[in-house]
Amino acid sequence: MSSTLKIYILAINSFLVGTTQYIISGILDNVSKTFGITISTAGQFITIFSLVYGIFTPIFLALTARMDRRNLILYSLGLFVLSNILAFFSPGYGWFFVARIIMALGAGIVVVTSLTIAAKIAQKGKQGSAIATVMTGLTTSLVIGVPLGRVISDVFGWKYIFCGIALLGILEIIVMFFTIPKEDGDKPVPLLQQLAFLKRRKVALGLAITFFWLGGYSVAYTYISPYLLNISGVHENLLSGALLMFGIASLIGSKFGGYSTDRWGVTFTLAGGMALHILMLILLSLVTNTFIGVMVILVLWSFSAWTSGPTQQFHLAAIEPDSSSVLLGLNQSMMQLAIAAGAGVGGIAVKQGSLASVTWVGAIGVMIAIIATIMTSRSNSKKKLSNTA
C-alpha cells in the first residue's frame, strides 16, 4: 500500500475525533432535552472535552514518547472507541460526562500520533502535505460529520451518532493494524522544557492570538444550533443544510487562509479575517427570520473564522523555526483550551444574560485577538529596524 493511502487512513482518525468533538454543537438542543438540563449546562460537554484534551494530551505524550507509535495509536483509538460505546449506553448526565472525559483522553493522543506517523511515512519533501492531509480530517468533520450527525439525531436519536463512531473506530483499528508500519518513538521533550517557551514574549503573544480568536469563535459556535433555531428563526428542517453550508465555508476559508498568507502575509490575513469575523458575529445578531440573509452571514462567518487556522500554524512555526514541533504542539493544546474557555464563557452568557448575547461576547474575544496580532506585528517591525540599524 502506498504511503499516500496510509496517510488518508490516518486522516480518518482526525475525522472521527473532530466529529465527536464538534457534534455536540449541532445537537445541543436534543442533548439538553434528553437529559432534562439547560442549554448552558449541555454546552459544558464541549468544555470538559476540550479542557481534558488540552491539558492531558501533552502530559500523556511526554510519558509515552518512547513507545512504538503504531501501538500507541491502536491503544488510544481503542480507548476512544470504548468511550463512545459508553456514551451510547449512558443512562444519564453523569455517565455521559464521564464518557466525554475518557473520549478526550483518547482523542488527543490519536490526533497527535496520527500527525507524527504521517510525517514519518510520507515521501521525502512531502511531510508538510502529509500533516495537512491529516488535519483536513478535522475540517471535514465540520463539513460532513456535524450535519450528518444532526440528520441521524433527528431520525434515530442523537446517541446513535456515538454508536456509529464506535463502529467506524473498530473498523479503523483493524485497517491500521494491517497497514500502518511500526514506528519508533522519539526522544522525549520534558514538559517543563516545553512550557518554558511561554516565557518568551513573542511566543506568548502568538498563543494569545490562538486563544482569543478560537475562544471568541467557540463562544458562539458552541450554541449554534439553538441560536439558529431560536434567535435567527431558521426552521428545524433547514438546520442540517445550514450546518452543511457552514462546514463547507470553513473548508474554503481554511484553503484561502493558506493562500492569503503566502500572497499577503500573516498580519494582513489574520487582522483582515478576524475583522470580517467580528462583523459577521454582530450582523448575525441583527439579521433574523430571513433564511437567505442568515445563511449569507453564516457562510461568511465560517469562512472568515477559518482563514486564521493555517495562518496561525504557519505564524507559530516561523516564530521559533528550530522548535516548530514544540510550538505547534503547544498551539494544539491552546486551541483546545480556547474551545473549552469559549464554551464555558458562552454558557455563563446564556445563563446570566440570554442566548442572543453569545455573538457579542464572541466578538469581544476576537477583538482581543486582533489587538494581540497588531502588537506582534509592531514587535516584529521594531526588531527588523534594530537589526537593520
CATH number for the domain that contains residue 72 = 1.20.1250.20
- 336 shares a domain with 283: yes
Sign of the dihedral defined by the CA atoms of residues 55, 60, 63, 66, in that order:
negative
Span 46-56, average pLDDT: 90
Closest to 108 in 3D by CA, of 79, 143, 67, 130:
79
Share of the chain above pLDDT 70, in %: 93
Q: Are 112 and 69 in contact (CB under 8 A)?
A: no
Residue finishing a domain among 134, 159, 188: 188
Confidence grade of residue 224 (pLDDT, cut at 50, 70, 90) = very high
Span 255-281, average pLDDT: 91
Span 294-313, average pLDDT: 91
Model confidence at 1: pLDDT above 90: no
- 216 shares a domain with 180: no
Distances (CA, A) of 203 to 140, 189, 385: 29, 18, 20
pLDDT top residue among 327 and 369: 369
Using the 8-state DSSP alphabet, how is residue 289 labeled? S
Whole-number Å distance between alpha carbons of 309 and 307: 6
- 231 shares a domain with 139: no
- 388 shares a domain with 250: yes
Span 116-135, average pLDDT: 76
- 280 shares a domain with 180: no
Using the 8-state DSSP alphabet, how is residue 249 labeled? H
pLDDT score of 122:
79
Span 93-106, average pLDDT: 95
Distances (CA, A) of 227 to 139, 222, 301, 374: 22, 9, 14, 31
Whole-number Å distance between alpha carbons of 211 and 200: 16
Whole-number Å distance between alpha carbons of 230 and 372: 34
φ, ψ of residue 223 in degrees (nearest 5): -110, 25
The C-alpha torsion from 350 through 356 and 362 to 368, rounded to 10°, is -100
pLDDT score of 346:
93
- 263 shares a domain with 117: no
Model confidence at 387: pLDDT above 90: no
How many folded domains does the chain comprise?
A: 2
Which segment, 15-19, 178-182, 188-192, is predicted with the most confidence on average? 15-19
Average pLDDT value for the chain = 88
pLDDT score of 385:
52
Residue finishing a domain among 171, 188, 205: 188
Using the 8-state DSSP alphabet, how is residue 320 labeled? S
Model confidence at 70: pLDDT above 70: yes
Model confidence at 33: pLDDT above 90: yes
Confidence grade of residue 185 (pLDDT, cut at 50, 70, 90) = low
- 199 shares a domain with 118: no
Residue finishing a domain among 188, 204, 238: 188
Confidence grade of residue 323 (pLDDT, cut at 50, 70, 90) = low
- 115 shares a domain with 47: yes
Q: Are 365 and 342 in contact (CB under 8 A)?
A: yes
- 209 shares a domain with 113: no
Residue 338 sits in which domain range? 191-389
Q: Are 26 and 152 in contact (CB under 8 A)?
A: no
Count the neighbouring beta carbons within 10 Å of the beta carbon of residue 310.
Answer: 22
Residue 14 CA to its chain's centroid (Å): 10
Confidence grade of residue 322 (pLDDT, cut at 50, 70, 90) = low
Confidence grade of residue 107 (pLDDT, cut at 50, 70, 90) = very high
Q: Which range has the worst mean pLDDT, 71-75, 110-114, 312-316, 372-376? A: 312-316
- 184 shares a domain with 196: no
pLDDT score of 168:
96
- 91 shares a domain with 204: no
pLDDT score of 186:
63
Q: Are 92 and 35 in contact (CB under 8 A)?
A: yes
